Copies of this chain bind each other. A is one copy, B any other.
């Protein structure tokens, strides 16, 4: 391909990373994104053209990737988010899901999803599970296999495996991109001005420094 055409292709690719601006009602039956590798880099937020519906198959609407847990963190947590980037059939349908596994004693630290309510279904285990409302009250309870808890949209919530066996949770969201803001990282791992953090949390410079070291990603510290 000639250099000029290549340039054109690059420009085009940039331009077509048009972002989806909403989780509105679908006006077509479905839209399986056309993600032929090598052509367009796919990110979670792109609107991709729909695959020609002739080429859509039943497999596009089935997801088999959460039959077992994902990789566990050092702290014993595994989270597998499932959204149009790995399950294209969800695209434009206003829902997504997640599988979370917690080893005994492990936590899913306080976080919130700015764009979705979550329904958490306990597949196995016993989990202390709760959220904080805007009046700073905690609604928390130990829930177990077969029980469901709902976390209202935008509220900080958390989980801890308080059982004697691993726990598995199946969560579903009413957005194809619910977002996930982790409190500790957002506050101490993001680079907010030290003085402001000291005043906000009543900590001294040394304490803030310790929190920073804990939550700033190593990759960023090095650079």
Contacts and interface: CB of A to CB of B under 8 A. Distances in A.
A206 interface: no
Contact of A183 (B25, B44, B187): B187
Contacts of A34: 14-15, 17
Contact of A154 (B45, B146, B154): B154
A200 B184 contact: yes
A85 interface: no
Contacts of A205: none
User: How many residues of A sit at the interface, in one of the four size bands?
Assistant: 35 or more
A140 B109 contact: no
Interface in A4-57: 4-5, 8-9, 11-12, 14-31, 34, 39-40, 44-45, 47-50, 52-53, 56-57
Contacts of A30: 133, 152
A22 B26 contact: yes
A196 B158 contact: yes
B67 A146 contact: yes
A93 B109 CA distance: 23
A155 interface: yes
A145 B196 CA distance: 21
Interface of A: 1-2, 4-5, 8-9, 11-12, 14-31, 34, 39-40, 44-45, 47-50, 52-53, 56-64, 66-68, 75, 82, 87, 89-90, 92-95, 97, 107, 109-110, 112, 114-115, 117, 119, 121, 123, 128, 130-141, 143, 145-156, 158, 160, 170, 172, 174-177, 179-187, 189-193, 195-196, 199-202, 211, 214, 217
- 4 cross-chain pairs, A with B, having the tightest CB-CB distances, nearest first: A114-B154, A22-B24, A67-B146, A109-B200
